[in-house]
Chain A
Amino acid sequence: MEKVVEIKNVSMNYHTMQGETQAIRNLSLDIKNGEFVSIVGPSGCGKSTLLSLISGILRPTSGSILVDGEPVTGPSGNVGYMLQKDHLFEWRTILKNATLGLEIHKKLNKESLAHVEHLLDEYGLADFKHHYPKQLSGGMRQRAALIRTLATNPDILLLDEPYSALDYQTRLAISEEIWLIIRKEKKTAILVTHDIAEAVAASDRVIVLTGRPAEVKNIHEISLTCDTRTPILCREAPEFRRYFNDIWKELDIHVQ
């Protein structure tokens, strides 16, 4: 499969008056087209930083990042980024929130609007287009946030703990839904999570990072035997436990 993201010897240092923080050190990683990859690592190790670098809102101190073979120079419509909270704007309707990216890229026209409306219809928000965010449940809001990300039609989705603000039940349900949407829309996804089970259940590969500064500690190719490949069903797979334990042990060393 072709590589859509290539991270080559990337290091990232933050500078503040309090001092210098090395967040990422000499990290290399490739992501293939259509893959669902999860990144796990100890708190504060540099996971969000890595996503920000891929999205182009931060520039690495050294090394290079290529998306679709092109060096990243800034945010582009080709990479969608979903943050931890939905950050829907309470003064905009769901439809208006969903078209925000298109407005910014000045690509809001009949076709793109129809595309967004189609996504909203398709993913259960048809009746809520003209509602305001506070009228929606947490799960629906997260779906709306995903559609806002999908509106500019990115090939790559970056998800930074997108469900962690939700309660456990909603979280299971919405992570399943969003996984299905991502698969259906044939996107490449990079998910940062603290939840090992979620990572194993959803991913083709799980990348374990070391403590700060982040380096790749290990990469797990996940292959689960289950009839239908969806996160919830695959939690029943016999291999699930083993992956979980392996990753948990790798993380645990660094928590101590």
Chain B
Amino acid sequence: MYNENISKEHLEYIRKQNIKKTAIRVCQCLLLIMFFVLWEAAANLRWIDPFIMSQPTRVLKTVASMTSDGSIFTHTGITVLETIIGFLSGTILGTLIAIVLWWSDFTSKVLDPYLVVLNALPKTALGPIILVWIGGTTGSIIVMALLVSIVVTILNVYLAFESVDEDKIKLLTTLGAKKPQILTKVILPANVPAIISVLKVNVGLSLVGVIVGEFLVSKAGLGYLIIYGGQVFKMDLVMTSVLILAVVAALMYLSVNWLEKKLTKMR
């Protein structure tokens, strides 16, 4: 592929591809900058009401004051922590249940219709019930995050377990393996990528659960700031929190992505 004398044509091709790549990056940045500039200008020129729509400089001021009193870190930290606990427990518990279903075909057949219904049900509808049962604590928020991600995890991981090549299992059987060994030697290792991709989905889902939970519990976290800001009409606080949330969500997604690359490289 990489011969010594690369042809002119090929050089030209590479140059064009690189130009295209740069152009895409530049446009992406420009779009973001333009968004904020327009927003700022629109507010200054009173095309929009900055009291309702807020504006970038007000957001920056809010960030500055929240940084100086440290509240930005507490609230963001709480949301991040709850989300991490949520998606880790959702993924781990979901995988454990998927193992049970894989182990017992009978159980999986019995539970199948219930899982289908639970999967279709919007889990956030259960929020008020959880709040009443568990109370206005962090516990409720984590359970919320867990609920949002667990059913999808069970279904996806179970499906992945079931789609392991029958012949790989046959091979292990010929080597004398019993069910526990089939689980540990092929089912689990073969599905590490599937479980990580579920983890990736769960980051987003669990964040939904956490924010809804924080809306309901209303004590701390970015979700709380958003709902509180809305109630007392501090739109600067709402916008700031939403923007921080966007950054946090992206960062968490990227870290799981990075983890995935690390883990798949090892194999």
* Residues of A near any B CB (own CB < 8 A): 55, 57, 74-77, 80-81, 83-85, 87, 89-92, 100-101, 103-105, 132, 152
- Closest approach, in angstroms, between the C-beta of A173 and any C-beta of chain B? 24
Given A81-B174, A101-B175, decide whether A90 and B267 contact each other with a Cβ distance below 8 A.
yes
B190 within 8 A of A: yes
* A75 contacts B176, C-beta separation under 8 Å: yes
Given A87-B165, A91-B267, decide whether A103 and B185 contact each other with a Cβ distance below 8 A.
yes
A103–B177 Cα gap in the complex (Å)? Answer: 10
* Residues of B near any A CB (own CB < 8 A): 165, 167-168, 170-177, 181, 185-186, 189-190, 192, 267
Given A75-B173, A75-B175, A101-B176, decide whether A85 and B167 contact each other with a Cβ distance below 8 A.
yes
Name the residue of chain B whose CB is nearest to the CB of A152: B175
Name the residue of chain A whose CB is nearest to the CB of B177: A104
- Closest approach, in angstroms, between the C-beta of A70 and any C-beta of chain B? 15
Q: Is the interface of A mostly helix, strand, loop or mixed?
A: loop
- Closest approach, in angstroms, between the C-beta of A190 and any C-beta of chain B? 13
A20–B190 Cα gap in the complex (Å)? Answer: 34
* A55 contacts B174, C-beta separation under 8 Å: yes
A83 proximity list for chain B (CB < 8 A): 167, 170-171, 174
A74 proximity list for chain B (CB < 8 A): 176
Contacts between chains A and B (CB distance < 8 A), count:
51
A77 proximity list for chain B (CB < 8 A): 176
For the complex with contacts A87-B167, A91-B267, 7 further pairs of A-B residues with Cβ separation under 8 Å are A75-B175, A84-B167, A89-B168, A89-B189, A91-B192, A92-B189, A104-B176
* A104 contacts B174, C-beta separation under 8 Å: no
* A91 contacts B176, C-beta separation under 8 Å: no
B192 proximity list for chain A (CB < 8 A): 91
Name the residue of chain A whose CB is nearest to the CB of B176: A75
A67–B168 Cα gap in the complex (Å)? Answer: 25
- Closest approach, in angstroms, between the C-beta of B249 and any C-beta of chain A? 30
A99–B168 Cα gap in the complex (Å)? Answer: 15
A152 proximity list for chain B (CB < 8 A): 175
- Closest approach, in angstroms, between the C-beta of B10 and any C-beta of chain A? 28
Given A89-B189, A103-B185, decide whether A57 and B173 contact each other with a Cβ distance below 8 A.
yes
A85–B186 Cα gap in the complex (Å)? Answer: 16
* A104 contacts B267, C-beta separation under 8 Å: no
- Closest approach, in angstroms, between the C-beta of A214 and any C-beta of chain B? 20
Name the residue of chain B whose CB is nearest to the CB of A158: B174
A91–B170 Cα gap in the complex (Å)? Answer: 18
* A75 contacts B174, C-beta separation under 8 Å: yes
Q: Can you report 29 residue pairs joining A to B where beta carbons are below 8 Å apart? A: A55-B174, A57-B170, A75-B173, A75-B175, A77-B176, A80-B174, A81-B171, A81-B174, A83-B170, A84-B167, A85-B167, A87-B167, A89-B185, A89-B186, A89-B190, A90-B267, A91-B190, A91-B192, A91-B267, A92-B189, A100-B172, A100-B185, A104-B175, A104-B176, A104-B177, A104-B185, A105-B175, A105-B176, A132-B267
Q: Which of B167, B173, B176 has the most CB of A within 10 A?
A: B176
- Closest approach, in angstroms, between the C-beta of A217 and any C-beta of chain B? 27
A77–B174 Cα gap in the complex (Å)? Answer: 9
A104–B183 Cα gap in the complex (Å)? Answer: 12
A81–B176 Cα gap in the complex (Å)? Answer: 11
* A57 contacts B181, C-beta separation under 8 Å: no
A57 proximity list for chain B (CB < 8 A): 170, 173-174
A77–B177 Cα gap in the complex (Å)? Answer: 11
A83–B171 Cα gap in the complex (Å)? Answer: 7
A104–B176 Cα gap in the complex (Å)? Answer: 7
* A87 contacts B171, C-beta separation under 8 Å: yes
Closest 10 CB pairs of A and B: A81-B174, A101-B175, A91-B267, A75-B176, A87-B171, A104-B177, A57-B173, A91-B189, A104-B175, A87-B168
Q: Which of A80, A85, A104 has the most CB of B within 10 A?
A: A104
- Closest approach, in angstroms, between the C-beta of B80 and any C-beta of chain A? 31
A80–B173 Cα gap in the complex (Å)? Answer: 11
A104 proximity list for chain B (CB < 8 A): 172, 175-177, 181, 185
Q: Which of B173, B181, B189 has the most CB of A within 10 A?
A: B173
A76–B176 Cα gap in the complex (Å)? Answer: 6
- Closest approach, in angstroms, between the C-beta of B175 and any C-beta of chain A? 4
Q: Which of B174, B181, B190 has the most CB of A within 10 A?
A: B174
- Closest approach, in angstroms, between the C-beta of B167 and any C-beta of chain A? 6
A69–B144 Cα gap in the complex (Å)? Answer: 62
